[in-house]
Chains A and B, each alone.
Chain A
Amino acid sequence: MARGGLLAKLVSIGIATRRYPYERVEPPEGFRGKIVVDPQKCVGCGACARVCPARAISIEDDEERGIRRIAIFYGRCIFCARCVDVCPLNAVSTTKEFELASNESNDLLYVVEHPMARCILCGKPFAPQKLVAYVARSMKEETRWLAMVCPECRSRIVAKVKSFVGW
């Protein structure tokens, strides 16, 4: 290319620099940004915490207060969106938000708290109320009350009750 041609090309391209902080930049289609949870849809099953490669989603049960606490720490999130794939209720989704910079690590936390159902026999909180309701809907009509019993009590009583009630 002749020298004049190159100069003409550069002039025709103009300024390549994006004026980013002063103008909005739209990420491309399919960009995996900040993970958000829809608290209406979430049942607190913890599948996302199980599958998270970086353990950015943690799940812990507070037995005294009777709540399950699901916390997303964006500082450790690698934005792989496996939680989005695995969520049975499509409650987790990605957004195109990428401006997550902050000067406090506490700002990078997103906490969802689920009130838990208590076992009808021992009174121990064992699963989120929404999860119990979700599971009970897929159970048989005559045995679904067992969803209100915690796994330990269930294994203790079920054989006896089964022989008595006759199913």
Chain B
Amino acid sequence: MVVSRRSIWVFHLNTGGCNACDIEVLDLLAPVHDVERFGIKLVASPRHADVLLVTGPINVNVFDYVLRTLEAVPDPKTIVAIGSCACGGGVWFDSYATIGGVPKLLEILEERGIPKPSVVYVPGCPPKPEAMIFGLAVAANMIEKKQRFEYVVAEPSTEDRELLEVLRNEALRNLGAASKLLRGG
């Protein structure tokens, strides 16, 4: 994946979020978290950036600007989607006013034939600053991701199965008794 072994320069792009994620992003630069120890810093122009830090569900009004900003970031580029709005649309995923987060943005890019950047999703509402550091570390290949697709089948217990068998017999008996009436109509 991503980014070079050099310092990651980040351009922060709010696409219509509520500012909670943005305040947490500012936390990253404060002394307690201090992402500059990894060489990560915010830059003022997307042309200097390696990573586009997207917060917010991508409003219809800012969509054009998002595309233009994405174009301005030099290759190889990465999007880091911060917060549940950017990761999947959040509470506004089916609103008419938003396009529904970065996954929908990627679909639109694919439709228009624009090469897709690699994406790192950081869920949370807002995510902890540590979660963002973890996401940036995943983007920089420093850390193995922890979250994986999980699939469980909730099998009924043996008691439940026995009860269902009893119920089936009861139902058949009762319906048998009533079937004459049902047939008679």
Contact = CB atoms under 8 A, between A and B. Distances in A.
Interface in A45-81: 53-56, 73-80
B170 A18 contact: no
A34 to B, nearest CB: 8
A98 B156 contact: no
B156 A148 contact: no
A120 B172 contact: yes
B166 to A, nearest CB: 9
B88 A73 contact: yes
Contacts of A165: 174, 177-178
A101 B135 contact: yes
A101 B121 contact: yes
Contact of A129 (B134, B145, B156, B175): B156
B152 A160 contact: no
Interface residues of B, number: 66
A157 B125 contact: no
A106 B106 CA distance: 14
A132 interface: yes
A102 B145 contact: yes
B84 interface: yes
A94 to B, nearest CB: 13
A79 B20 CA distance: 14
B93 to A, nearest CB: 6
B96 to A, nearest CB: 16
Contact of B121 (A40, A53, A105, A121): A105
Interface string A128-167: 1110110011000000111111000000010011011100
B138 interface: yes
Interface of B: 1, 31-34, 37, 84, 87-91, 93-94, 101, 103, 118-125, 127-128, 130-131, 133-135, 137-139, 142-143, 145-157, 159-161, 163-164, 167-168, 170-175, 177-178, 181-182
26 contacts: A16-B31, A21-B142, A39-B153, A56-B88, A74-B147, A97-B146, A99-B134, A100-B123, A100-B147, A101-B123, A103-B1, A103-B120, A103-B138, A105-B119, A107-B147, A108-B147, A111-B151, A120-B172, A130-B154, A133-B156, A133-B164, A133-B167, A145-B173, A148-B168, A160-B182, A165-B177
Interface of A: 16-18, 20-21, 25, 27, 37, 39-40, 42, 44, 53-56, 73-80, 97-103, 105-115, 117, 120-121, 128-130, 132-133, 136-137, 144-149, 157, 160-161, 163-165
Given A99-B147, A113-B152, A129-B164, 14 more contacts: A17-B34, A18-B33, A74-B123, A75-B121, A105-B119, A107-B149, A110-B149, A112-B154, A114-B153, A129-B160, A133-B160, A145-B167, A146-B171, A148-B164
